[in-house]
Chains A and B, each alone.
Chain A
């Protein structure tokens, strides 16, 4: 059973460009979470989605950031007009009813560098 997949693993963007991060949850999982890890810090929750619905976006910055989890395809975290402070590792996790525990399984992360 393939784990949570994220791509790209590394992404370099210039200031002002857009970044798109993709997350494919584990097979059978319908819940996706995005977390951000700034250098030398713990992970901070950003957003929780189910298919076609945003359930909790209390951790999302109000501007430039958006997330979706369409009926088909991966979840996308989109950052518009990136700034240096967006440089971080972005982790996706998924959970579901595979084992009924709602345990979150993490992907390997996308490391975004803004130059």
Chain B
């Protein structure tokens, strides 16, 4: 079945450092890919998405490119802030289905 694999956390960075969180997927169809962010005690917020190969999703300085050849959707940000500290989830929605399949999440801790 469909699955998403994320790098384990926590990822600990200093403010203004470069961020990469790896995400790879397995799907039978042509999925849409998503990154969600969860702040403590809150629900998930959509951060960015890409619906087809080579699409780049971007939002709030974060970006991720849909790479079909490597089945990857890595999240990057050039300069993180303390306020970016949260748990980040990679997810896919496969063709013909509505449900989202999530990775296990990666906790990001940014220190001043």
Contacts and interface: CB of A to CB of B under 8 A. Distances in A.
A13 to B, nearest CB: 20
Interface centre among A35, A44, A48, A104 (most CB of B within 10 A): A104
Contacts of A63: none
A109 B105 contact: no
A33 B99 contact: yes
Given A106-B45, A108-B43, A42 B105 contact: yes
B74 to A, nearest CB: 17
Interface residues of B, number: 18
Given A42-B89, A42-B104, A43-B89, A48 B45 contact: no
Given A42-B89, A42-B105, A106 B98 contact: no
B12 to A, nearest CB: 17
B101 A45 contact: yes
Interface residues of A, number: 25
A41 interface: yes
Given A42-B103, A43-B89, A33 B43 contact: no
A77 B49 CA distance: 28
A42 B89 CA distance: 7
A42 B36 CA distance: 11
Nearest to B87: A42
B49 A48 contact: no
B88 to A, nearest CB: 11
Contact of B44 (A31, A43, A58): A43
A91 to B, nearest CB: 6
Contacts of B53: none
Contact of A44 (B45, B46, B49, B102): B102
Interface of B: 4, 36, 42-46, 49, 89, 97-105
